[in-house]
Amino acid sequence: MKKQSITSLPVSDEIERRNRMIKYSIAMAVRVVCIVLLLFVQGWWLVLCAIGAIVLPYFAVVVANVKIAPRGGEVLRPGGLEIYQNDDGAK
C-alpha cells in the first residue's frame, strides 16, 4: 500500500465545516442585501433582487453541504485480469 504524504491527506473536519459555514454565511448575507434592496429599487432591478432573494437559499444549502475532495496524486489503476486453467482443461 502506498504511504500517504502530508499533501494528499484530506482537510480536517473542523476546517472543512468552518469553510462551508463561511460560504453559507456569505450567501445569506447577499440574500439579506437582496431583500433590503427590494424596498428601494424599481423595474428590472426589482425582479433581479427578488430572484436573488428566492433562489440564493437553495444554492447556499447545496454549496454548504458539498464536501471538497482532496487533490490527490494520480490514480493507480489495477492490473489486467488473468484467467488460469488447470492442466486437465477445466476452468
Q: What are phi and psi of 31, to 5 degrees?
A: -65, -40
Q: What three-state secondary structure class fits 75?
A: coil
CA distances from 33 to 1, 2, 3, 47, 55 (A): 51, 49, 48, 14, 13
pLDDT in tens, 19-50: 889 999 999 999 999 999 999 999 999 999 99
Mean pLDDT across the chain: 80
Q: Cα(66)–Cα(27) distance, rounded to whole angstroms?
A: 14
pLDDT in tens, 8-26: 566 778 888 898 899 999 9
- Residue of 60, 64, 62 whose CA lies nearest to 27: 60
Model confidence at 64: pLDDT above 80: yes
